[in-house]
Amino acid sequence: MKKHLRTRFASRTTQRVIFLLLVAALSLSCVSLAAAQKEKKKKTDPASSTESSKMLIPLTDEQQIDYALSEMLGAWQLGDSEKLRQDYADDVAIVNGSWAPPILGWTNYLAVYQQQRARMQQVRMDRTNTYIKVNGMVGWACYQWDFAAVVDGQQTESQGQTTVVLEKRNNHWVIVLNHTSLAPRVPQATPANAPSGQQPPAKPSPR
């Protein structure tokens, strides 16, 4: 009888041990499965981000040039020469509206620009009526501009036109020629039927 009880007790003990081992094995399997799923998710996340980046529509050459012009004028107004540098070629030629020889090379232009920019405050430059044309690795654009600033302590306004020639170098459009001309302001004529001594209302400057 005692032998039978001992055998029965040993059998129950063995069953409990096997049960505990099975529970432990199942727990480890769940942990491993969760870790594998987490690792799989990590691996698929970069792929999904890559796929989303592929869905972005690339800019056309005309749009890239238009963006470069906006970037260049923004940097010019802020006096950010490092940002301005990104849109000009090393061998750029600058022709301005004054009776002066062209400025050749970025280094020479930078010295002139910094000297002029130091005299200006509250700078504003608006670009309108832009036309852009691309032919292979060369493009050109022309636009009108409206400038206003405090120069040497006095409010100054002017208008003009600019033509730029660009080249695509290292997959980036840079300005190789900038030709700017100043448009003379035409004085407003007094209407014939206006009373003597009365001035007509001033027209707002075009934007």
Task: Label residue 206 by pLDDT band (50, 70, 90).
Answer: very low
The answer to the question of residue 34 being in a domain is no
For the sheet with 138-151, list strands across it. Answer: 103-104, 88-95, 172-183, 154-169, 138-151, 120-135
Q: Output the average pLDDT for the chain.
A: 77
CA distances from 88 to 81, 85, 105, 116 (A): 11, 5, 9, 18
> Is the confidence at residue 26, as pLDDT, over 60?
no
Q: Maximum Cα–Cα distance for the chain, whole Å?
A: 139
Task: Label residue 98 by pLDDT band (50, 70, 90).
Answer: confident
The answer to the question of residue 44 being in a domain is no
The answer to the question of residue 68 being in a domain is yes
Instruction: Determine the structural domain holding residue 173 and report its residue range.
Output: 61-183
At 163-184, the pLDDT tens digits run 999 999 999 999 999 999 998 8
The answer to the question of residue 105 being in a domain is yes
Task: Label residue 187 by pLDDT band (50, 70, 90).
Answer: low
CATH number of the domain that 93 lies in?
Answer: 3.10.450.50
pLDDT at position 1:
52
CB 159 within 8 A of CB 139: no
**Domain count along the chain:** 1
Task: Count the neighbouring beta carbons within 10 Å of the beta carbon of residue 178.
Answer: 21
The answer to the question of residue 135 being in a domain is yes
- The residues, ordered by sequence, that sit 6+ positions from 147 with a Cβ below 8 Å of its Cβ are 123, 124, 125, 156, 157, 158, 159, 160
pTM: predicted TM-score of the whole model, two decimal places: 0.64
pLDDT at position 91:
97
Strand partners of residue 79: none
pLDDT at position 20:
43
Burial of 106 (0-12, 13-18, 19+ CB in 10 A): buried
> Residues in the chain, how many?
207
Task: Label residue 21 by pLDDT band (50, 70, 90).
Answer: very low
At 63-93, the pLDDT tens digits run 999 999 999 999 999 999 999 999 999 999 9
The answer to the question of residue 110 being in a domain is yes
The answer to the question of residue 178 being in a domain is yes
> Is the confidence at residue 111, as pLDDT, over 60?
yes
Residues 197-205, mean pLDDT to the nearest whole number: 47
CA distance 18 to 32: 21
At 145-168, the pLDDT tens digits run 999 999 999 999 999 999 999 999
The answer to the question of residue 195 being in a domain is no
CA distance 165 to 93: 10
